[in-house]
Amino acid sequence: MVHGFTTANGVTQFPIARWTTLLGFEDMDACAHFFGSHGFVVSDDRSPIINLSRRSFYHPEEVPAISRARNLVESKRGVAWSEVINGEPLPPNPYTYYKVSQVSSLMSFPSFYGCIC
């Protein structure tokens, strides 16, 4: 994330709501705690912003507590795997109505009939 979303020397700002959705956190507080534990500054405004900077990033000595994202997991229980992976219902399969004509390179005699280019 640091290398993909930041510039070499500057600070890049992102809304915390976007990261909460992308990373699958239960709420914005859990997301803010995760980013704060890695040295990023999280503003306490009405619409919180994460300030990503390569200089402020560090690996914490203690691993942040891992918790199950119960709302995210439970919301996908009654849905097919294809919809979970795609993020929405799949479009109709275009190959169900696709007619394939049987073509054979062998005519009535057992030798190849055609052009080898």
> Is there a contact between 10 and 52 (Cβ–Cβ < 8 Å)?
no
104: left (phi over 0), alpha (psi -120 to 50) or beta: beta
Each residue of 31-78: pLDDT tens digit?
888 888 888 888 877 778 888 887 777 777 877 677 767 676 666 678
* Count of CA atoms in the C-beta half-sphere (13 A) of 6: 16
Each residue of 78-101: pLDDT tens digit?
878 778 777 788 888 877 776 666
Looking at residue 41, its pLDDT comes to 81
- The pLDDT confidence band at residue 20, using thresholds 50, 70 and 90, is confident
- The angle formed by the CA atoms of residues 63, 29 and 18, to the nearest 5 degrees, is 100
How many residues are given for the chain? 117
Measured torsion, CA atoms of residues 23, 26, 32, 33, in degrees rounded to the nearest 10? -110
